[in-house]
Amino acid sequence: MKRPDGLTAGRPVLVTLIVLAVGPSGRLAAQTDARLIEALRLAQSGQVDSGRAIVRRLLATLQPGDSVFPQALLAAAKIAPDAQTVASNLNRIVVEYGAGPWADDALLLLTQLYFAQRDPVQTVQAAERLNRDYPDSPLRPRANFSAARAYFELKNEARGCELIQQALNGAADDVEFKNQVSFYASRCSPPSTPTATTTTSTPTSSDTAAKVPPPPPPPPPPGPHAYAVQVLAVKSAVQVDDMLTRLKVMGFDARVVRDSTGFFKVRVGRYATREEAQRAQTRLRQKVGGQPFVVDEP
């Protein structure tokens, strides 16, 4: 299994997502509606337009309350023509059908989609939500594998190694997946402890002085000051996900900061000057509405 180079125009998203997501023990291929199974079969055999047509007609005839509707959204995401449509369908499943059986599938695919797009922040957000909201999901090991590598890119080795270990523990009998995870697990091995030596001699004062370690180097100077634009501050993860999706679609570089009171703060950008941040604030007010404001970031 190769890491994708990203989603390119003209290449069905189906290939990127299904190859990454479905393993011998995966559940993503086990959709139950015969019409959706046929649509995916056609798409996988190269008849992508025919598969999409089946799903499109089905979504047009189903009511949103129908139990097949989220399953149809999942199929539509798997064979969508572009990443934006994939993310839109998957986020709709997570937000509108979070209590149903397909929400963890959608979060796994979002994790892998964002990782394929080289977006480590969105990758870890989707995977951590899967861990938090669906702790019993059998799909967590694969989401954690993508999230661990994203954490490595974000220089968070500790959390990356935690998720690598969880992915390894959940690999079960999937030898190929276990081998992939094990490759990254090697970077998390604890350093070997040197064997202590025993000496019968008593060190002299000069010996003791010679063995005193040098003082630690001075801390690095603080990084440059920066500014961001805060768009939202809420305690609802659903509202956060919806806003992140909207901002991503509009081309803004958005992220989430959580403070000690439990609020999720959606912020855009990291600008070198207040003037740059104020220009972004104006664009956000025009496109998103609300009352975005400039904040200082150390």
Cross-strand pairs, 256: 266
| 56 vs 62: CA distance, rounded Å | 10
Q: What is the pLDDT of residue 242?
A: 76
CB 19 within 8 A of CB 28: no
Query: Which amino acid is present at 176?
Result: E
Q: List the pLDDT tens digit at each of the 298 positions of the chain.
A: 333 333 433 444 443 444 334 333 344 445 688 999 999 889 888 899 999 999 999 999 999 999 899 999 999 999 998 999 999 999 999 999 999 889 999 999 999 999 988 899 999 999 999 999 999 999 999 999 999 999 999 999 999 999 999 999 998 888 888 888 888 888 887 644 455 555 555 555 555 445 556 666 665 555 567 899 999 888 777 777 778 877 876 778 888 887 777 788 888 988 889 898 999 899 888 888 888 899 888 6
Longest distance between any two alpha carbons in the chain, whole Å: 89
Angle, helices 48-61 vs 34-44, to 10°: value is: 160
Written as six digits, the tokens of 295 are 């904040």
Q: What is the pLDDT of residue 289?
A: 82
Task: Sheet with 264-271: list strands edge to edge.
Answer: 254-258, 264-271, 226-234, 293-297
| 98 vs 92: CA distance, rounded Å | 9
Q: What is the pLDDT of residue 219?
A: 55
Q: What is the pLDDT of residue 248?
A: 74
The SS3 of residue 219 is: coil
Cα–Cα nearest to 115, from 160, 150, 82? 150
Q: What is the pLDDT of residue 203?
A: 53
pTM score above 0.95: no
CB 270 within 8 A of CB 278: no
CB 57 within 8 A of CB 14: no
Q: What is the pLDDT of residue 3?
A: 36
Q: What is the pLDDT of residue 218?
A: 61
Query: Which amino acid is present at 53?
Result: A
